[in-house]
Amino acid sequence: MNRVRQTHDAAALVWRKSSHSGSDGGDCVEVATAARAFRVRDSKRSGSDTLAFTHEGWGALLGALGSRGRQAS
């Protein structure tokens, strides 16, 4: 995972809000797919820094989160 400064290209990305985010404006993240990375940002601070994950890193994160959820069941 790399922390990157948001640039004009990040503003042009199509951002999707997490399906786990509520409509009340609480804790939400948004994800966009870029050419070489998945970008993640806080939906309440869309002009701030974003996190960038390589495709491999994103897959590892989702795998770890998925296995964590299965262990809790």
d(CA 59, CA 53): 9
Only one residue has tokens 């786990």, namely: 20
Q: Please name which of 30, 53, 24 lies closest in space to residue 42, comparing C-alpha atoms.
A: 30
Domain residue extents for the chain: 2-72
Place 4 in a pLDDT band, splitting at 50, 70 and 90: very low
Whether this model's pTM surpasses 0.75: no
d(CA 11, CA 39): 11
pLDDT of the residue at 6: 47
Dihedral sign computed on CA atoms, order 35, 2, 44, 29: positive
Q: If you average pLDDT over residues 67-73, what whole number do you get?
A: 59
pLDDT of the residue at 20: 66
- Name the token pair of 61: 């994160």
